[in-house]
Amino acid sequence: MENNRDISASGKSSVYSLFYAQVRRNRDAIAIEHQKNTWSYGTLDEAVRRLASVFTNLGVAKRDRVAIISENRPEYIVAELACAMTGAIIACQNWRLSLDELKHCITLVNPKLLIVSERFASNLNELDLSNLEFINLDDGYTELLGNVSAAISPQSLDPEEGIVILYTSGTTGLPKGALISHRAQIARMCALRLDTVIREQDAFIAWTPMFHMASTDQLLNALMSGSTVIIIDGLKPDAITDAASRYDLGWLVMLPGSIKPMIEHLKKTKPKLKSIACIGAMADLVPRQEVADLTELMGAPYLNSFGATETGLPPASAALIPPGITDYSLSKKVNSLCEVRLIDADGKEVNDGKTGELTIRGATVFSGYWNDEETNAKDFDG
């Protein structure tokens, strides 16, 4: 039994295989809404397969990196799922970085291919990346997909294989590339649903940049669950409330700087919203009155989150603050699917009530920093 590959393979779902299970379940269900246009699961899968064929024709193989720099749009999701299907790794570039930082992030992962939208194409001309193969999403992309077949078989993948590289904020130097596996991505979907009241049909609004975990983690989770991703290009309160009036939502991400304009919009327009499982993030960085106002106006509890690019919403994002109150606790609640300890400078667990450094073990944890073995040796201790 130890060497029976069939037994081993039966437990190895991937992000793409779980997405495709939803395609088979209901091809006509809405996978994506963007600017009031919708893509069915079947339509999305065909685009994914065609881009996967393009990857193959360009020599992109398992574990090769595909860098992408683009605003939020359906083609971004197509690229992520095409990587998930072929075993390539998508490296999501932060277009807010300086040109020097952006060049560092791209060259760090040594991509085989770079996908860019026209909005950011001019920036790349200054980075001296002429040796890279490019795909411009706004120049020949539709024709490129139209010239290849959608009849391509997905790669058989170990869930420990990487699917996405997201970059840290770079607060201690240049950004680091965090490699997230299929296993971690699937576990992040499960942890959120175990610790909140999110249902499989609850939609997700992807308005935060897709280079950030707040969108990429959650949109992949939604598509593995069979729900809808509503794509919005940045913070647009009118578009967000319009979607919330038409779809039941799971987690509506609201970051600290976005909450005040959202409250102002809600008070002005008084929209009639459908159900929202939870809202917000990082309650300890938001004034209490803003938390109370937002939750009361949207009729949803606030997610008292404490997570990271490297760990997803864990280790401590399981607490919900009831709507409309200001006298809430900011204490964190440990998530499902993880083990947490607080340790001292010698690596020993501290006593209750003492301060320590948090360590985490669990299925949501990333697979290390790309090409940074020194940091990995320091930060990982199984």
Whether 212 has a pLDDT exceeding 60, the answer reads yes
251 domain-assigned = no
pLDDT of residue 2: 63
Instruction: Report residue 235's pLDDT band, with 50, 70 and 90 as the boundaries.
Output: very high
* Residue (of 176, 145, 183, 130) closest to 161 by Cα position: 183
Strand-strand pairing, 30-34 and 229-231: parallel
pLDDT of residue 4: 72
Q: Which region among 96-100, 151-155, 225-229, 299-303 has the lowest average model confidence (pLDDT)?
A: 151-155
35 domain-assigned = no
Cα-flanking dihedrals φ and ψ of residue 194, to 5°? -70, -35
The mean pLDDT of 60-89, rounded to a whole number, is 98
pLDDT of residue 323: 98
pLDDT of residue 331: 95
| Residue 144, domain CATH | 3.40.50.12780
- Paired with 358 in beta bridges are 342
Reported pTM:
0.95
| Maximum Cα interatomic distance, the chain, rounded to a whole number of Å | 65
204 domain-assigned = no
Q: What distance lies between CA 204 and its chain's CA centroid?
A: 11
pLDDT in tens, 328-373: 999 999 999 999 999 999 889 999 989 999 999 999 999 999 999 9
What residue type is assigned to position 100 of the chain?
D
The mean pLDDT of 142-154, rounded to a whole number, is 93
120 domain-assigned = yes
348 domain-assigned = no
173 domain-assigned = yes
pLDDT averaged over every residue in the chain: 95
**What is the spatial distance between Cα 34 and Cα 73, in angstroms, rounded to a whole number?**
7
pLDDT of residue 8: 67
The mean pLDDT of 125-146, rounded to a whole number, is 91
**What is the spatial distance between Cα 216 and Cα 210, in angstroms, rounded to a whole number?**
5
CB 80 within 8 A of CB 223: no
CB 192 within 8 A of CB 313: yes
The domain in which residue 89 lies consists of: 5-28+41-182
pLDDT of residue 127: 87
Q: In angstroms, what CA-CA distances link 118 with 47, 72, 111, 138, 284?
A: 20, 13, 19, 6, 38
pLDDT in tens, 41-53: 999 999 999 999 9
What residue type is assigned to position 218 of the chain?
Q
pLDDT of residue 171: 67
Length of the chain: 382
Instruction: Report residue 122's pLDDT band, with 50, 70 and 90 as the boundaries.
Output: confident
Q: In angstroms, what CA-CA distances link 184 with 33, 155, 220, 261, 354?
A: 26, 18, 12, 33, 30
Q: Which strand (E) or helix (H) includes residue 181?
A: strand 177-181
Q: In angstroms, what CA-CA distances link 287 with 260, 283, 331?
A: 10, 8, 15
Q: Which region among 3-7, 186-190, 315-319, 332-336 has the lowest average model confidence (pLDDT)?
A: 3-7
pLDDT in tens, 149-198: 998 888 889 999 999 999 997 666 899 999 999 999 999 999 999 999 89
280 domain-assigned = no
User: What total of structural domains would you count in the chain?
Assistant: 1
222 phi-psi bin (left φ>0, alpha ψ -120 to 50, beta other) = alpha
pLDDT of residue 12: 87
258 domain-assigned = no
